């Protein structure tokens, strides 16, 4: 029997980008702060603009970024591509897409994963578990 670890679990900092406050709320509610006991706790930052996302990344304040692929004027897929091209190390990127036909564009953006819009809580949580499990 192993002794309990005295090492505190480090929380992952998750940025949720969408100009739509309801979309951000749905994402955060769907995922929650604990996906599985073996994964880190999640701490969310709501981001309503592209420059806000980039500002947080410039300050190394995000480990995962969930991007609204339907956002305007700064689209989540274009923002994902910019982040992938300009940030090293790059956070994990998940793009929300409204149409499966847009999957190719999410692939072009080099996002690590996609999930559907409107938010499907089961799908989004499952995708996050896969994404974070692959990183671990």
**How much is the pLDDT for 26?**
98
CATH number at 119 reads 3.40.50.2300
In a domain, 118, yes or no: yes
The predicted model scores a pTM of 0.91
Count of residues for the chain? Answer: 136
**How much is the pLDDT for 81?**
97
In a domain, 7, yes or no: no
Which range of residues forms the domain containing residue 52? Answer: 12-135
In a domain, 6, yes or no: no
- Name every residue whose Cβ is closer than 8 Å to that of residue 27 and which is 6 or more positions away in sequence: 16, 18, 66, 96, 119, 124
In a domain, 3, yes or no: no
**How much is the pLDDT for 136?**
58
Question: pLDDT tens track of the chain, all 136 residues?
Answer: 333 444 455 899 999 999 999 999 999 999 999 999 999 999 999 999 999 999 999 999 999 999 999 999 999 999 999 999 999 999 999 999 999 888 888 889 999 999 999 999 999 999 999 999 876 5
In a domain, 4, yes or no: no
In a domain, 2, yes or no: no
Report how many domains make up the chain: 1
In a domain, 77, yes or no: yes
In a domain, 30, yes or no: yes
What's the token pair of residue 90?
A: 């790059």
List Cα–Cα distances, 104 to 55, 100, 108, 111, 134, in angstroms. 27, 8, 6, 11, 22
């Amino acid at each position: 029997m192993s002794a309990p670890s005295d090492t505190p679990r480090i929380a992952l900092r998750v940025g949720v980008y969408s100009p739509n406050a309801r979309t951000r709320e749905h994402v955060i509610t769907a995922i929650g702060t604990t996906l599985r006991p073996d994964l880190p706790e999640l701490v969310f930052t709501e981001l309503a603009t592209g420059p806000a996302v980039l500002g947080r990344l410039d300050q190394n304040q995000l480990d995962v970024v969930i991007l609204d692929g339907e956002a305007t004027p700064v689209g989540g897929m274009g923002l994902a591509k910019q982040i992938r091209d300009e940030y090293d190390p790059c956070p994990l990127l998940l793009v929300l897409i409204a149409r499966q036909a847009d999957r190719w564009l999410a692939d072009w953006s080099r996002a690590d994963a996609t999930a559907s819009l409107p938010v499907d809580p089961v799908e989004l949580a499952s995708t996050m578990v896969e994404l974070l499990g692959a990183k671990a």
